[in-house]
Amino acid sequence: MRVGLLTGGGDCPGLNAAIRAVVKHGEGTYGHSIIGFRNGWKGVVDGDVLPLGREHIRNVLPVGGTLLGTARYHPNEENGGIDAVMATLEAERIEALICIGGDGTLHAASKVAEAGVRIVAIPKTIDNDVEGTDLSIGFHTAVNIATEAIDRVHTTAESHNRVMVVEVMGRHAGWIAVNAGIAGGAELVLAPEEPFDIDQVVKFLKHRHRAHANFSIVVVAEGAMPREGGSMDYTTQLGKYGEIVAGAIGERVAAEIAKRTGFDTRVTILGHVQRGGSPTPTDRILGSRFGVAAMDAISSGTTSVMTALRGERIELVPLAEIAGRVKHVPADLLRAAQVLS
């Protein structure tokens, strides 16, 4: 078969491992031709193709990003987008498509599948908020990066008697904030799942500094929000494409803490550093397993599914069950972050 392959949405470490697995398994085991599309769904619409062979995937396992490029473009949201996708797939004689992406890319995949295209999806996002899978490609590396940053911030915070606010990614779900906060020993974690009360934050910090410490670490997810009716008014700051403005909530929380406590307070915004660099072995292995499973599914005629990690097993879940849904941090994990402060 001629199998199309794309990576969409934000980049993350581990994508090249998945691409490598699709190409090696597809060519070596099944004799398929793998046709890559540059820059996600935009490349499908534009017909921007890159036939992939073994020469393209040598030495890519330790490399972050994606050799295919990526873009935040969803054909189901553009006039004529689905029709353009169908035209390109027909012109390139693509018999099936493997889509690697987060919630937006996979939602678009479900719409293209409804139009009659044979699709298998692979979940990737550092936010880990794709429903149906325990882990998505990129999350493990991002948590490692955030945890190391918190570890480093600890020493300078203690040396200068400061409150350090560390902002991490996580628009709709606080997976990075909660996991890195626990692993890095943060005093407070503010996640989108539970709106925070700035008065309680200030009360806690004052008590901590008065009782037994002269510094604190506060981890804030970019999508964290103060509770309605509280003493902090805030509207999420969005960019021109609807993305959250990096640093907006972190800077505001730090300003409120400084004003209300008088403590020397600084902000560290990790931003896109969480997406970069070499993937951890966990993400390389996960990407590889997902790539193999996706190619097996395509080759067996199974479509409109997503590869998912469930416990120790790779399973296939229907796209219709997960498209457009967000996987939030469970209450017990949020509670662990709270009680360990």
Helices of type H across the chain: 15-25, 40-46, 81-91, 103-114, 139-160, 175-184, 198-211, 248-261, 281-300, 319-322, 331-339
Angle at the Cα of 48 from the Cα atoms of 42 and 49, rounded to 5 degrees: 125
- Spot the catalytic one: 46, 48, 103, 127: 127
139-160 vs 281-300: helix crossing angle, rounded to 10: 160
- How many angstroms separate the first and last alpha carbons of the chain? 54
- Calpha distance 53→57 (Å, rounded): 7
- Calpha distance 43→327 (Å, rounded): 28
Q: What is the DSSP letter of 202?
A: H
Q: Which residues, including other chains, have CB under 8 Å from residue 247's CB and lie 6 or more apart? A: 167, 267, 269, 271
Q: How far is CA 312 from the centre of its chain?
A: 20
β-pairing, 33-37 with 49-52? antiparallel
Q: Are 223 and 189 in contact (CB under 8 A)?
A: no
Residue 127 bears catalytic tag:
yes
What are the catalytic residues?
Answer: 127
